[in-house]
């Protein structure tokens, strides 16, 4: 009898709450993380002042068979919203989307930082997933609308799915035609991505590296050394080139590094697959910091480096 009366009390409170309209006051924001359950959501609602008791919320979850239908994400509820309508919001997934821009050329640690700062997932756990699944280079740069508090594996899978969508059968066929695996294409594209400033130069920069690979020359690509050091620095020293002991140091190791160093965009992937028809083996950044000068011989390259350095000294 006591249990029945208690049920009637909860049911009466819950049903009466359907008629309540949101009152005045500050809105209440909560995140419903992936993998949570209705009891944890109810506790979070009480903790943040959206409800005074968990019972009405749990009643409506059960009455509407909503236990497995509560959507993950970030919610902002008006003050005084009843348990019935809170459950309704959660069933229908009336979430606030988190828009995240992943720029071309971001390494996994930069992507992790941005996802963490925007509240999408835990950055350290995301990085761990990337390393375990070897996803560096395959987290496609684009603009995404995420839910809040997702599992890192879910986020990584979505970024990888976008890459898979962009990688076409024509690209796969072209990779085989030039004797590259997909991973080698993405690795080269990631180097091009970090080198290029003017998009139109991408195919020519790619040609330089293709030509070096054909001649069994070291790539001597600064971004690979920066990646080995774990940071994108503006200038490297001779000690960096000489002392950075890593398979990613292309000043010491011939050929492509073991894998990508960042997430390349579509332009750089295409440049890696379809390099320009050029004999260039060298390039040097111009004083404007955007364009490059290309050379076929080391002597020509040295002259251009010296000219660039003179111009820099004159500008100081």
- Shared domain for 159 and 194, answered yes or no, is no
Q: How many C-beta neighbours within 10 Å does residue 233 have?
A: 12
- Shared domain for 133 and 87, answered yes or no, is no
Query: Rounded to whole angstroms, how far apart are CA atoms 80 and 25?
Result: 8
**Residue 295 located in a structural domain:** no
Last residue of a domain, one of 72, 92, 112: 92
Burial class (CB within 10 angstroms; exposed 0-12, middle 13-18, buried 19+) of 185: buried
- Give the predicted TM-score (pTM) of the model: 0.85
Please answer whether residues 13 and 55 qualify as being in contact, where contact means their C-beta atoms are separated by less than 8 angstroms.
yes
**Residue 145 located in a structural domain:** yes
- Shared domain for 275 and 177, answered yes or no, is yes
What's residue 62's pLDDT?
Answer: 94
The parts of the chain modelled with pLDDT lower than 70 are 1-25, 316
Q: Is 282 helix (H, G, I), strand (E, B) or coil?
A: strand
- Shared domain for 261 and 182, answered yes or no, is yes
**Residue 308 located in a structural domain:** no
**Residue 48 located in a structural domain:** yes
Last residue of a domain, one of 44, 70, 92: 92
| Residue among 113, 36, 125 at smallest CA distance from 74 | 36
Burial class (CB within 10 angstroms; exposed 0-12, middle 13-18, buried 19+) of 114: middle
How many domains does the structure of the chain reveal? 3
- Shared domain for 195 and 133, answered yes or no, is no
- Shared domain for 185 and 261, answered yes or no, is yes
Segment (H or E) for 111: helix 108-117
- Shared domain for 215 and 269, answered yes or no, is yes
Distance (Å) of CA 38 to CA 32, 47, 61, 71, 91: 10, 14, 7, 11, 11
Q: How many C-beta neighbours within 10 Å does residue 146 have?
A: 22
**Residue 102 located in a structural domain:** yes
- Shared domain for 147 and 112, answered yes or no, is yes
- Shared domain for 173 and 148, answered yes or no, is no
Last residue of a domain, one of 126, 150, 165: 165
What's residue 20's pLDDT?
Answer: 45
- Shared domain for 159 and 201, answered yes or no, is no
286-307 confidence digits (pLDDT tens) = 988 899 999 999 999 999 999 8
Q: What is the DSSP string of 124-184?
A: HHHHHHHHHHT-TT-S--SEEEE-SS--HHHHHHHHHHHHHHHS-HHHHHHHHHTT--HHH
Place of tokens 């049911």: 11
**Residue 213 located in a structural domain:** yes
- Shared domain for 180 and 222, answered yes or no, is yes
- Shared domain for 156 and 210, answered yes or no, is no
Q: Tell me, what CATH number does 54's domain have?
A: 3.30.1490.480
**Residue 8 located in a structural domain:** no
Residues spanned by the domain of 21: 17-92
Place of tokens 């100081």: 316
**Residue 233 located in a structural domain:** yes
């Amino acid at each position: 009898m006591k249990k029945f009366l208690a049920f009637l009390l909860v049911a009466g409170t819950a049903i009466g709450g359907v008629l309540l309209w949101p009152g005045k006051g500050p809105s209440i924001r909560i995140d419903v993380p992936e993998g949570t359950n209705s009891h944890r959501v109810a506790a979070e609602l009480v903790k943040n002042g959206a409800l005074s008791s968990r019972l009405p919320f749990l009643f409506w979850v059960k009455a509407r068979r909503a236990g497995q239908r509560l959507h993950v994400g970030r919610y902002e509820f008006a003050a005084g919203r009843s348990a019935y309508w809170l459950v309704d919001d959660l069933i229908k997934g009336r979430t606030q989307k988190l828009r995240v821009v992943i720029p071309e050329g971001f390494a996994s640690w930069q992507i992790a930082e941005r996802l963490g700062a925007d509240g999408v997932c835990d950055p350290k756990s995301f990085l761990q997933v990337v390393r375990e699944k070897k996803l560096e280079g395959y987290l496609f740069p684009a603009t995404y609308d995420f839910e809040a508090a997702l599992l890192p594996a879910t986020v990584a899978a979505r970024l990888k799915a976008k890459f898979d969508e962009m990688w076409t059968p024509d690209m796969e066929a072209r990779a085989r035609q030039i004797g590259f695996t997909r991973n080698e294409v993405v690795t080269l594209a990631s180097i091009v991505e970090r080198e290029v400033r003017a998009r139109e130069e991408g195919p020519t920069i790619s040609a330089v590296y293709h030509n070096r690979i054909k001649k069994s020359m070291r790539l001597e690509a600064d971004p690979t050394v920066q990646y080995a050091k774990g940071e994108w620095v503006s200038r490297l020293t001779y000690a960096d080139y000489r002392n950075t002991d890593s398979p990613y140091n292309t000043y010491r190791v011939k050929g492509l590094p073991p894998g990508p160093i960042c997430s390349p965009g579509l332009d750089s992937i295409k440049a890696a697959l379809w390099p320009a028809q050029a004999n260039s083996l060298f390039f040097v950044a111009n004083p404007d910091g955007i364009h490059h000068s290309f050379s076929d011989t080391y002597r020509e390259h040295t002259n251009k480096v010296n000219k660039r350095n003179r111009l820099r000294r004159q500008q100081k």
